[in-house]
Amino acid sequence: MTIIETLTEAVRARLEGRVTRVPSLADEAAYEVEPKDLLGVCTTLRDAPDLRFEMLMDLAGVDYLEFRKDQWRTEAATRTGFSRARLRQEELVPPAPVGGARFAVAYQLLSITHNRRLRLRVRCENDEEPVVDSVASVWASADWFEREAFDLFGILFRGHPDLRRILTDYGFVGHPFRKDFPLIGTVEARYDPEKRRVIYQPVSIEPRVLVPKVIREDNRYNPALNEPPAPRS
């Protein structure tokens, strides 16, 4: 048995009916768990002798807005060219969460005992107010990871001991990693000499669409330089 086969068999034996395997690369094991089963599944993954995922390596929020659209939606950019991307290998891209949820949380787990890795994903059931249970009671490292996902994606973690912003300022408006967050932001900071402190104000930058484009002169394509030389007399 390969490492992945051994791992998937152990997961099946311990968690059958509570997790669903999702498409991934051949040397990866990725699963989705229902929100109501998250804490129980995580505890089993940590404590079961044949699993022993003692370490949460990373936790990240995911925004599936416009996921799997063949072209990105923009306001002014052309529909062709370098500003567009298509998914060429659909089988390598995990599907959106069950039920078409917009937000999800992905957990990257490491078993030090067995030297194996596993990815777990849980969806947020409410797109307007995304909430999942905190796993900080299972893995202490989730504390700051969950604060980061809250800060950047606006995902709330039920039961977190201290859910505050961790990267942006306390007065920051919005969540920068959401797909519908404006690229120029919503507020800007400047120093006010009268108040003698930094203040926030509505952003003054004019919106523009960034389309990679290179225009340069290149003498290699000058027709006059590519003509065959005139015969000598």
pLDDT in the model for residue 73: 58
Q: Tell me whether residue 231 is in a domain.
A: no
Domain residue limits at 89: 3-219
Q: Tell me whether residue 105 is in a domain.
A: yes
pLDDT in the model for residue 18: 96
pLDDT in the model for residue 89: 47
Q: Tell me whether residue 228 is in a domain.
A: no
* CATH code, domain carrying 108: 3.30.460.80
Collect the ranges in the chain with pLDDT lower than 70: 69-94, 207-230, 232-233
Number of structural domains found in the chain: 1
Token pair, residue 115, equals 């030297």
Q: What is the pTM of this model?
A: 0.75
pLDDT in the model for residue 216: 58
Q: Tell me whether residue 232 is in a domain.
A: no
pLDDT in the model for residue 173: 81
pLDDT in the model for residue 224: 67
223 CB-near residues (< 8 Å, 6+ apart)? none
Q: What is the strand order of the sheet 19-21 is part of?
A: 19-21, 30-33, 116-123, 103-111, 55-63
Residue 41: which of 114, 88, 109 has the closest Cα? 109
Q: Tell me whether residue 224 is in a domain.
A: no
pLDDT in the model for residue 98: 72
